[in-house]
Amino acid sequence: MNPEKFYYSKWFTWFPFVNTFGFVLLEYYDHSGIFRPGYNYFSPWNCAFEVFIILFLINHSIWYLIPALRRQTILEIDDEKLKFRIKNKIIYWDDVSKVNYGPVLDVVIIKLKNSKTTKIYLNCVKGDNELVYRAVLGHFKQATSSEL
């Protein structure tokens, strides 16, 4: 089979920026004195919150936004291995004992033969979650059947 490539989800990438815009608007109205007149708005905690939001957006941009805009692959599956770029993991099918799907968190759970577990969260992967799971499971089954 040819390698299957899945790309970064643009919805997952833009969602924190839309949320942050809402926080900025709320903060602006809060600082303007509409909600609490006479309150000291320039406390260290307000500045710490804003610095935290800025650092979060920088981190999210580096890990998700820039690769999504460049249309880089986040998940690549072939007959030998699975590459998951967020965790920078390469999992060979020879090391895998079981593949499960967790529908509550939209996660593919890969159990390795050395009793370790790796999770691939599908909210950051573009495409239908069930389709991604079936692709992972199909490649796993094909790799294990060719070993026998």
* Sequence-ordered list of residues with C-beta below 8 angstroms from that of 109, at least 6 positions apart, any chain: 99, 100, 101, 102, 117, 118, 119
3-state secondary structure of 101: strand
Tell me which residues of the chain have a pLDDT lower than 70. 1, 28-47, 146-148
What is the structure's pLDDT at 32? 60
What is the structure's pLDDT at 37? 64
What is the structure's pLDDT at 26? 73
Residue at 20: amino acid letter: T
What is the structure's pLDDT at 148? 56
Length of the chain: 148
What is the structure's pLDDT at 40? 60
What is the structure's pLDDT at 43? 64
Is 2.30.29.30 the CATH classification of the domain at 74-147? yes
Tell me if 74 sits within 8 A of 7, measured CB to CB.
yes
Please tell me the pTM assigned to this model.
Answer: 0.74
Q: What pLDDT digit, counting tens, does each position of 92-109 carry?
A: 999 999 999 987 888 999
What is the structure's pLDDT at 127? 86
What is the structure's pLDDT at 147? 62
What is the structure's pLDDT at 21? 78
What is the structure's pLDDT at 116? 92
3-state secondary structure of 88: coil
What is the structure's pLDDT at 39? 63
How far is residue 148's CA from residue 99's CA, in Å, rounded to a whole number? 18
What is the structure's pLDDT at 38? 63
How far is residue 94's CA from residue 98's CA, in Å, rounded to a whole number? 11
